[in-house]
Amino acid sequence: MRLDQRCIVEMIKPQSKILDIGCGDGSLIDYLCRDHQCDARGIELDMAYVTQCVGKGLPVIQGNADFDLQHYPTNGFDYVVLSRTLQAVNHPKEVLQQMLRIGRHAIVSFPNFGHWTLRAQLLFKGRMPMTTVWGKYWYETPNIHPCTMTDFVHLCEVEGHRIERWMAIDEQGERAPWRRYVRLANFFGEQALFLLTR
């Protein structure tokens, strides 16, 4: 499981009901169902992943975060997870609203565009940054709405979503507890993870 997914599991109480949007190969819901006694389901855009997930016995539907969340009932889930997908949806603000309508909590992880290496690449090379997380040329990337941690905090303030917990994590290493301030985390954190409540 990816590091951000391990951190997500830590945020989820056992026996909860979870919807994982953009569940990929289903490793998070697989873990939540089998080892965390959760009722977890997924939505995934890529049919190859969906087929793989259902073939493994995981409850996953092929669908799109931008359109399909409206079909889920209000308060249908304890947690709605969006890991590394926010930057790739068409309407991030609306997707967040839907997540907090159908779930009591929303867990959002995204690659932080405010990381110093990205800032440096843009500043010194004058080109769109490329790192392990942002590993594609600007014309190939599915990411259409990259944001920084500060941007995300701002969106939550505007929308009135309460930030219950947040953390900045590195791709390789462990979570860095010394990053207590969003501005510093925004500079040093490669990935961001937020637990939101209505």
Residues in contact with other proteins by CB under 8 A are 33-34, 37, 39, 41, 47, 50-51, 53-63, 68, 71-73, 76
Q: Using CA atoms, how far apart are residues 109 and 54, in angstroms rounded to an integer?
A: 24
Dihedral angle of Cα 134, 87, 17, 51, to the nearest 10 degrees: -70
**Nearer residue to other proteins within complex by CB, 23 or 192:** 23
Question: In whole angstroms, how close is the CB of 42 to other proteins at the nearest point?
Answer: 9
189 backbone dihedrals φ, ψ, rounded to 5°: -85, 130
Q: Which is nearer to other proteins, 72 or 110 (CB)?
A: 72
To the nearest whole angstrom, how small is the minimum distance from the Cβ of residue 106 to other proteins?
18
Task: Choose between 36 and 145: whose C-beta lies nearer to other proteins.
Answer: 36
DSSP string, 58-94: --EEE--HHHHGGGSPTT-EEEEEEES-GGGSS-HHH
| Residue 8 vs 23, nearer CB to other proteins | 23
**Sole residue written with tokens 């930030």:** 163
Closest distance to other proteins from the beta carbon of 161 (Å): 23
